[in-house]
């Protein structure tokens, strides 16, 4: 969304325009749900977390600083809700790969596909085996494609910490893969 | 970008992430409910402040405020001593049943002996039963009571709506008037209205009567 359009929607939502807030929800619901899902690890929990986050964001619009980007601010709320649910739920379900293409499907070399899937499964297991802080930073940066600034907002850490933690997490991941 | 980082990006494209459910409708509904709850809370708070102010200007209860009961448009304050009470006053101007500004609710559909406009609402007189109905919409706070500490006052459920039962003698404050003597009474909310039923009956009978008011 264009920054000017977003700023205008946020301003209208702050003044109580329900259609403007609905447009913001529509624009960010996919991102909010994906962030909540990779953190909470469960679709139902992710949906609840995303809903709660939007409702809380609406209630906190009065404290939102005009001119600031809305996306990182919202991400921080979503990620916080998802982390709370992960903590409350105890063990988080691990992320999984989509089902592989049917063997023999057109354009798919069965052997190459099997090797790639195995490699991805190993990599995903290694990511899931990292300590939570390392896993979360990699998930935000590479699975969700968040910027350093957005990752910092989502995880509630400084931008410099995102850099150092990403570096550390990649090194540990490489080590884990052998 | 290193090979490992490229592999992580490739992995992202193969993750099993469920499709995003539509959140707009649910979120909008929750925002509306939350706003409504906050407004009702603000109204209840304002009502309590108003009730406290009233209680404090009643000299006999100034130093002896015990407890509040509240529902939309009505507050019952428990005090240890009632103020001097005037006898019941005329109910207001008698009007035809169809001459009211909102749809009146009637017990078991029975027509009243008389309908009177006054005190910000309508009085409906039946043999042995007096019903008062008023629109307790935004900010309306027209019915206030102070009940003696020994009088039984409790929250009740009237067909799923909140109510207050006052099982004994108490003082009834209506806007601009002196405190009036009142007997057993049941207050409850129904849609946008708040109703007050007064009759020489016990709690259960009053509740049965109230549930028949539709």
When CB atoms are compared, the residue of B21, B24, B31 closest to A26 is: B24
What is the span of the domain harbouring residue B27?
23-212
> Would the CATH topology of A3-89 be identical to that of A110-177?
no
The answer to whether the Cβ–Cβ distance between B16 and A127 falls below 8 Å is: no
Across the interface, of A47, A51, A99, the residue whose CB is closest to B30 is A51
Q: pLDDT tens digits for B13-22?
A: 999 999 999 9
Three-class DSSP category at B148: strand
3-state percent helix, strand, coil for chain A, nearest multiple of 5: 75, 0, 25
Check A22 against B23: CB less than 8 A apart: no
Coil, strand or helix at B198: strand
A34 contact residues in B (CB cutoff 8 A): 17, 20
Specify the pLDDT at position B38.
77
Q: Look at residue B62 in the predicted model and tell me its pLDDT.
A: 46
Q: Do residue A142 and residue B30 have CB atoms under 8 angstroms apart? A: no
CATH architecture assignment, domain A3-89: Orthogonal Bundle (1.10)
Query: How much is the average pLDDT of B91-112?
Result: 87
Q: What percent of chain B has pLDDT over 90?
A: 32
Q: Is residue B71 part of a domain?
A: yes
Long-range residue pairs from B174-178, CB within 8 A, at least 24 positions apart, any chain: B174/B119, B174/B120, B174/B142, B174/B143, B174/B144, B175/B119, B175/B120, B175/B142, B177/B89, B177/B119, B178/B86
Domain-embedded: residue B43:
yes
Using an 8 Å Cβ cutoff, are A72 and A153 in contact?
yes
More confident: B49 or B57: B49
Q: How many domains does chain B have?
A: 1
Residue A156 to chain B, least CA–CA distance (Å):
23
- How does pLDDT run across A16-64, given as a tens digit for each residue? 888 999 999 999 999 999 999 999 888 999 999 999 999 999 999 988 8
Q: What is the pLDDT of residue A137?
A: 96
Contact B115, B133 (CB under 8 A): no
Say if residues B116 and B94 touch (Cβ distance below 8 Å): yes
Q: Give residue limits of the domains in chain A.
A: 3-89, 110-177
B88 falls within a domain: yes
Q: Where does the pLDDT of residue A104 fall: very low under 50, low under 70, confident under 90, or very high at 90 and above?
A: low
Query: Does A97 contact B16 at a Cβ distance shorter than 8 Å?
Result: yes
Comparing B65 with A116, the larger pLDDT belongs to A116
Stretch B162-169: mean pLDDT: 88
Examine residue B139 and state whether it is found in any structural domain, yes or no.
yes
| A131 Cβ contact list (under 8 Å, min separation 6) | none
CA angle at B71 for the pair B65 and B72, rounded to the nearest 5°:
125
Instruction: Give Cα B52 to chain centroid, integer Å.
Output: 17
Predicted confidence (pLDDT) at residue B81 exceeds the cutoff of 60: yes
Query: What's residue B7's pLDDT?
Result: 94
Tell me which chain B residue has its CA closest to the CA of residue A126: B8
Residues β-bridged to residue B194: B134, B189
Q: Over 90: is that where the pLDDT of B140 sits? A: no
Question: Residue holding tokens 């992710």?
Answer: A46
Does A58 sit within 8 Å of B4, measured CB to CB? no
**Interchain CB distance below 8 Å, B31 and A138:** no
ipTM of the complex: 0.85
What mean pLDDT, rounded, does chain A reach?
89
Number of residues that make up chain B: 214
Lowest mean pLDDT of A133-147, B36-50, B103-117, name the range: B36-50
Q: Does domain A110-177 have CATH number 1.10.10.10?
A: yes
pLDDT at residue B121, as a whole number: 85
A66 or B30: whose pLDDT is higher? B30
B6, part of any domain: no
Residues B176-213 pLDDT 10s: 667 788 889 999 998 888 999 999 899 999 999 999 99
Contact assignment for B8 to A51 by CB distance below 8 Å:
no
Tell me the residues of B at the A interface, defined by beta carbons under 8 Å apart: 2, 4-5, 7-12, 14-18, 20-24, 26-28, 30-32, 34
Specify the range with the lowest mean pLDDT, choosing from A86-95, A163-172, B123-132: A86-95
Per-residue confidence band for B10, with pLDDT thresholds at 50, 70 and 90: very high
Does B4 map to a domain?
Answer: no
Residue B134 parent element (H or E): strand B129-135
Residue of B nearest to A27 (CA): B24
Measured CA distances, B175 to A112, B92, B120, B193 (Å): 85, 13, 8, 17
Give the residue with greater pLDDT, A65 vs A51: A51
């Amino acid at each position: 969304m264009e920054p000017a359009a977003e700023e205008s929607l946020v301003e209208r939502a702050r003044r109580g325009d329900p259609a403007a807030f609905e447009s913001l929800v529509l624009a960010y619901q996919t991102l909010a749900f994906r962030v909540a899902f990779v953190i909470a690890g469960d679709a139902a929990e992710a949906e609840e977390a995303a809903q709660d986050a939007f409702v809380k964001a609406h209630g906190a619009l009065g404290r939102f600083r005009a001119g600031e980007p809305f996306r990182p601010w919202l991400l921080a709320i979503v990620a916080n809700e998802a982390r709370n649910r992960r903590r409350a739920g105890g063990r988080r379900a691990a992320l999984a790969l989509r089902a592989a293409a049917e063997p023999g499907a057109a354009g798919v070399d069965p052997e190459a596909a099997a090797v790639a899937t195995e490699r991805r499964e190993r990599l995903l297991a290694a990511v899931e085996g990292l300590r939570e802080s390392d896993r979360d930073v990699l998930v935000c940066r590479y699975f969700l494609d968040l910027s350093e600034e957005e990752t910092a907002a989502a995880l509630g850490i400084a931008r410099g910490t995102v850099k150092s933690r990403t570096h550390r997490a990649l090194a540990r991941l490489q080590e884990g893969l052998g | 970008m290193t090979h490992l980082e490229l592999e992580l990006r490739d992995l992202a494209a193969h993750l099993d992430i469920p499709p995003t459910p539509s959140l707009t409708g649910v979120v909008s509904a929750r925002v509306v409910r939350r706003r409504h709850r906050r407004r009702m809370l603000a109204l209840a708070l304002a009502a309590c402040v108003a009730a406290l102010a009233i209680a404090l200007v009643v000299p006999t209860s100034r130093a002896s405020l015990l407890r509040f009961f509240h529902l939309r448009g009505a507050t019952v304050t428990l005090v240890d001593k009632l103020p001097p009470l005037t006898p019941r006053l005329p109910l207001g101007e008698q009007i035809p049943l169809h001459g009211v500004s909102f749809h009146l609710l009637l017990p078991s559909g029975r027509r009243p002996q008389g309908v009177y406009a006054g005190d910000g609402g309508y009085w409906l007189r039946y043999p042995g039963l007096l019903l008062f109905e008023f629109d307790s919409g935004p900010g309306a706070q027209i019915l206030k009571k102070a009940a003696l500490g020994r009088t039984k006052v409790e929250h009740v459920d009237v067909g799923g709506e909140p109510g207050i039962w006052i099982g004994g003698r108490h003082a009834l404050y209506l806007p601009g008037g002196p405190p009036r003597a009142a007997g057993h009474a049941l207050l409850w909310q129904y849609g946008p209205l708040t109703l007050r039923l007064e009759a020489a009956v016990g709690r259960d009978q009053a509740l049965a009567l109230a549930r028949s008011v539709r």
